[in-house]
């Protein structure tokens, strides 16, 4: 019998049609699924995945199962689970799922441990919470593990820190670092889904608003670009001189947080670091400022301090809390400071998750085949996989591109030609 802990199995029909709807936007993953069905590259392998439980993720799990893997899926964030999708995965696809939207910390970690008790050969993480739990108790959880994959920037940072300290216990592929992942998912996915989350939570008009993007990595670039597209006046805060320069030349105002506080009406943190909006900032914000986070963990806004400072807290709408400060100004916090795009909206659209999850599936196949020759290191997705995904994606969009002529190939490999 399938093991599971989900909110409500009766939600399955709604989840199933949403999974199918997403599938239509995921042609690369569909091709992978069809090949996996025939070749069964993951046969006999147990795979534990800690990912956002969305309809896009459901299609990845279907691909892995088609490849022969015995899977368990748990949430990688307490607020991102789509309960109807969890229900359908259990009921219609016979998958073990442990995830409930709004679960508390205790339940979140009990689900992580449930995934590890399966005794996986491969781990698939989004934020490295499985890896972190394994490294805290390797005697208990390392039993069968021979490799893993990691979806996101924050997770890869944690892995590289383990690797630098020579503590990484098994090889892990940094899916995030594939070009067909971060160029698209982090930029266009986060850009659109973050704006979607802000709008669904608040229904504010972005045109003419002063919006502050904290962090100008791939995600920050996407949020800034899309906010400008909606007519917002965008200010960027950064700590890296190169990224700051890029933001300036992309046409954004760049300044330290202290300067941005005078203008900001909406703030979005996407830095991957902690305490980006903190105690010293709250009292200097304009009345009715909206603050939210689109970085992986809920550490970018010091929510505990905000709660402590507040004279009054009330819920205004789903995902919107009002904090009245001692200076009588109000701050609106979205989605408890957790990923606003996955908590207040549905995360990145399937069209972009198609490439991210094709990278995941093909990386799982790659480690299944080559794990004997891998060291305890963080690996890049092989370039051949990355390029193939781009090729198939273009083809699925009906877009043909040029090829080099023989003469051009020769020119590129010659050094003699000059002025």
Residues that bind ligand ADE (CB under 6 A): 51-52, 54, 56-57, 189, 342, 347-348, 353
Minimum separation from the CB atom of position 220 to ligand ADE (A): 15
Let me know how many helices (H) and strands (E) the chain has, helices first: 19, 16
Tokens 């009766």 correspond to 10
Minimum separation from the CB atom of position 336 to ligand ADE (A): 17
Rounded Cα distance between 169 and 52, Å, is 24
Minimum separation from the CB atom of position 152 to ligand ADE (A): 8
Minimum separation from the CB atom of position 9 to ligand ADE (A): 21
> Please, which residue, 289 or 334, has the CB nearer to ligand ADE?
334
**Would you call 136 exposed, middle or buried from its count of C-beta atoms within 10 A (0-12, 13-18, 19+)?**
exposed
Q: Which residue is nearest to ligand ADE (CB)?
A: 347
Q: How far apart are the first and last CA of the chain?
A: 73
**Would you call 335 exposed, middle or buried from its count of C-beta atoms within 10 A (0-12, 13-18, 19+)?**
buried
Tokens 């439980």 correspond to 53
Put the strands of the sheet holding 4-6 in their side by side order. 4-6, 96-99, 70-75, 46-51, 122-125, 147-150, 172-174, 378-380
Minimum separation from the CB atom of position 57 to ligand ADE (A): 5
Minimum separation from the CB atom of position 342 to ligand ADE (A): 6
Minimum separation from the CB atom of position 205 to ligand ADE (A): 25
> Please, which residue, 51 or 134, has the CB nearer to ligand ADE?
51
Buried b (16+ CB within 10 A) or exposed e, 219-256: bbbbbbbbbbebebbbbbbbeeeebbebbeeeebbbbe
Contact 125, 155 (CB under 8 A): yes
> Please, which residue, 41 or 189, has the CB nearer to ligand ADE?
189
> Please, which residue, 45 or 50, has the CB nearer to ligand ADE?
50
Classify the C-alpha dihedral 256-257-258-259 as positive or negative. positive
Minimum separation from the CB atom of position 80 to ligand ADE (A): 7
> Please, which residue, 91 or 296, has the CB nearer to ligand ADE?
296
Tokens 């689109």 correspond to 294
């Amino acid at each position: 019998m399938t093991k599971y802990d989900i909110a409500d199995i009766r939600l399955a029909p709604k989840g199933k049609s949403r999974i199918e709807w997403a599938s239509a936007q995921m042609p690369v993953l569909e091709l992978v699924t069809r090949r996996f069905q025939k070749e069964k590259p993951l046969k006999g392998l147990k795979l534990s995945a800690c990912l956002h439980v969305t309809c896009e993720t459901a299609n990845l799990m279907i691909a892995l199962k088609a490849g022969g893997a015995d899977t368990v899926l748990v949430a990688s964030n307490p607020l991102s689970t789509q309960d109807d999708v969890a229900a359908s995965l259990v009921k219609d696809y016979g998958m073990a799922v442990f995830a409930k939207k709004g679960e508390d910390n205790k339940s979140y970690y009990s689900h992580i441990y449930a995934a590890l008790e399966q005794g996986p050969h491969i781990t698939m993480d989004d934020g490295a919470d499985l890896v972190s739990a394994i490294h805290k108790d390797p005697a208990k959880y390392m039993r069968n593990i021979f490799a893993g994959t990691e979806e996101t920037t924050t997770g890869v940072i944690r892995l590289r820190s383990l690797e630098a300290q020579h503590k990484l216990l098994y090889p892990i592929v940094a899916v995030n670092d594939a070009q067909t992942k971060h160029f698209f998912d982090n930029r266009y996915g986060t850009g659109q889904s973050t704006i979607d989350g802000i709008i669904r939570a608040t229904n504010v008009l972005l045109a003419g608003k002063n919006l502050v993007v904290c962090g100008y990595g791939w995600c920050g670039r996407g949020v800034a670009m899309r906010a400008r597209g909606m007519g917002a006046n965008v200010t960027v805060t950064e700590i890296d001189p190169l990224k700051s320069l890029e933001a300036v030349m992309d046409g954004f105002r760049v300044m330290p947080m202290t300067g941005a506080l005078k203008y900001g009406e909406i703030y979005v943190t996407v830095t991957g670091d902690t305490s980006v909006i903190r105690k010293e900032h709250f009292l200097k914000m304009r009345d009715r400022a909206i603050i939210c986070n689109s970085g992986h963990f809920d550490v970018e806004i010091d929510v505990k301090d905000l709660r402590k400072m507040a004279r009054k807290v009330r819920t205004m709408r789903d995902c919107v809390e009002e904090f009245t400060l001692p200076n009588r100004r109000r701050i609106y916090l979205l989605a408890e400071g957790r990923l606003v795009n996955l908590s207040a909206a549905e995360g990145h659209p399937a069209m972009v998750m198609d490439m991210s999850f094709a990278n995941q599936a093909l990386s799982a196949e790659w480690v299944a085949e080559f794990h004997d020759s891998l060291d305890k290191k963080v690996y890049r997705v092989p370039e051949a996989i990355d390029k193939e995904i781009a090729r198939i994606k273009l083809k699925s969009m009906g877009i043909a591109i040029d090829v080099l002529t023989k003469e051009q190939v020769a020119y590129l490999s010659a050094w003699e030609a000059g002025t």
